Amino acid sequence: MTLALKYRPKTFSEVIGQEAIIKTLTNALDTKNLASAYLFSGLRGSGKTTTARIFAKALQCSQGESSTPCEVCDNCKMANENRHIDIIEMDGASNRKIEDIKEIIEQTKYKPTIGRYKIFIIDEAHMLTREAENALLKTLEEPPEYVKFILATTDPLKLPATILSRVQHYRFTKIDTMLIKTHLEYILAKENVSFDTKAVELLAKSGEGSLRDTITLLEQAIAYSKGKLSLDQVVDMLGVINPEMVDRIFDLIFKEDKKAISTITKEIASYDIDTILDEIISYLKAALFQNKFSIITIERFFKIVADVKELIKINVDNEFVLSLMFFKMIEALKPHKIDDLIREFEKKAFHVTTPSTQPSSPPQPLPPTTDLFSKLKQELLNRDKELYECFKDVEFVSFQDNVLVWESCVNDECKQLLRKYWSSVIKILIDEIFGIGTKVTPKPCSKLAPQPKPQKSTPVEIVEHDKNIVKKAHEIFGDDIVEVNIYRNAPNS
């Protein structure tokens, strides 16, 4: 008997990784709150059919419907041996025609022979033809009280909405790797097989959330290793890269040792490149949660891996692709050593010190922020001389609370150039030197000559003679007059 069948769960408590589903089903059994049809969907090997069989046994137990069947009555024994006459299992892939469903519908007319219910378990239900699905609809909606349906599928989206609306849908998730690892160690202990913990971890990860697939790999590994499960043997059997090798590769990347990386690349070039990339992604994921590398570094590495995944689609040589990926990762560490710059700045800006029992020395004065601004200008000069010439007219004002204030006296032509390279060059350098998230507040140039203010006109006294002129104008032109201007000859100088 294979290990997958030998250690197949017989009770709800033995099912691993599906706690929410098991809790719902056991509560339904204990409270007698049962539906007429159920749908179990999810990844292969996640426990759908096993849970369906346990649920069917719990319904048929002679002691009554319970989440803990007695396991000793005839109904439980026959259910465990898959020979209960009232628990009918059908493969939807091979019995998919309307005639097969008509036969099931005909059987629902007759009461169970020895059990409490007549239970139909239809595996791979999404493989039924459209006509067969339609024929099943009425029976699913209003079955006799003694009939229960349990459908199982790996692809619920292929089932019509009319069926989905008539069943209670339970979605089985991928089983956590640590749970699978613990279960594998339990099986190995039962089988008296010595093992390396890292070898079991690799097997658990290779199963990708499917317990049945993982147990199958375990059985294969036991046969390959002749009773002693080691990491090297599992690596050779699976044809994957050793996780320790990945760790070593990244150590060399951070040391920028291209020669050693080239040697390792030749060693692993014969492996499946997709498997190598998956292992690198898993390593980076673990590094992210362990704070092993900075987020920016991990993001850069992920982008490089994504580019390589596109490159392998055109069947490029594996050794070339891997070398290109590793060398690009080395180059990704170089631009101004952003991680070191940020740590150095935070240490200086926030007085980061290590605790010590010795008397602390007086704090060293922080470097003036004008030096950081000078460094910004120098970096611009290294990047682009024209850009630097325009930025020379930008003067430092202050830097406080992560806000950089400067005074800009650049001309219109330079303004356009600075706007063009703001996000791609200038802002990146500011974040690297002053810290990520630094806000910039520009001030208008104080060197420009102030514009002359308009002079206020002094009121002119209207003499009696002028009043007579205005009055006369109103008499002649009436209300059409809008404005009256009186001009006098300038006095002789």
- Judged by average pLDDT, the poorest of 50-64, 264-278, 436-450 is 436-450
Domain residue ranges of the chain, discontinuous segments joined by +: 3-172, 177-238, 243-333, 369-444
Q: Which has more confidence, 189 or 436?
A: 189
- Judged by average pLDDT, the poorest of 90-94, 306-310, 365-369 is 365-369
CA dihedral 42, 47, 49, 54 (to 10 degrees): -140
Q: Which CATH class is domain 369-444?
A: alpha beta
Could you tell me the two tokens for 250? Answer: 């990244």
Q: Which has more confidence, 392 or 217?
A: 217
pLDDT, tens digit, 9 for 90 and up, residues 377-415: 888 887 777 888 888 888 888 888 888 888 888 888 888
- Give CA separation, 426 vs 271, 430, 440, 442, in Å: 43, 6, 11, 14
Give 158's DSSP letter. G
- 3-state SS string for 307-356: HHHHHHHHCCCHHHHHHHHHHHHHHHCCHHHHHHHHHHHHHHHCCCCCCC
1 pLDDT band, cuts 50/70/90, is confident
* Model pLDDT, residue 482: 55
453 pLDDT band, cuts 50/70/90, is low
Q: How far apart are CA 8 and CA 152, in angstroms?
A: 17
Domain 243-333 falls under CATH 1.20.272: yes
Burial-class residue 50 by CB neighbours within 10 Å (0-12, 13-18, 19+): buried
User: Residue 402: phi, psi to the nearest 5?
Assistant: 65, 20
Q: Which amino acid, residue 386? A: E
Residues 3-172: name the CATH superfamily: P-loop containing nucleotide triphosphate hydrolases (3.40.50.300)
The stretches of 240-294 forming alpha helices (DSSP H) are 243-255, 258-268, 273-289
Q: Which of these, 363, 469, 349, lies nearest to 400 by C-alpha position?
A: 349
Could you tell me the two tokens for 263? Answer: 């040697």
Q: Which of these, 372, 428, 378, 379, lies nearest to 404 by C-alpha position?
A: 372
Q: Which of these, 323, 348, 363, lies nearest to 434 by C-alpha position?
A: 348
- 3-state SS string for 54-100: HHHHHHHCCCCCCCCCCCCCHHHHHHHCCCCCCEEEEECCCCCCHHH
Helix or strand run (H / E) with residue 229? strand 228-229
Domain 177-238 falls under CATH 1.10.8.60: yes
Give 148's DSSP letter. E
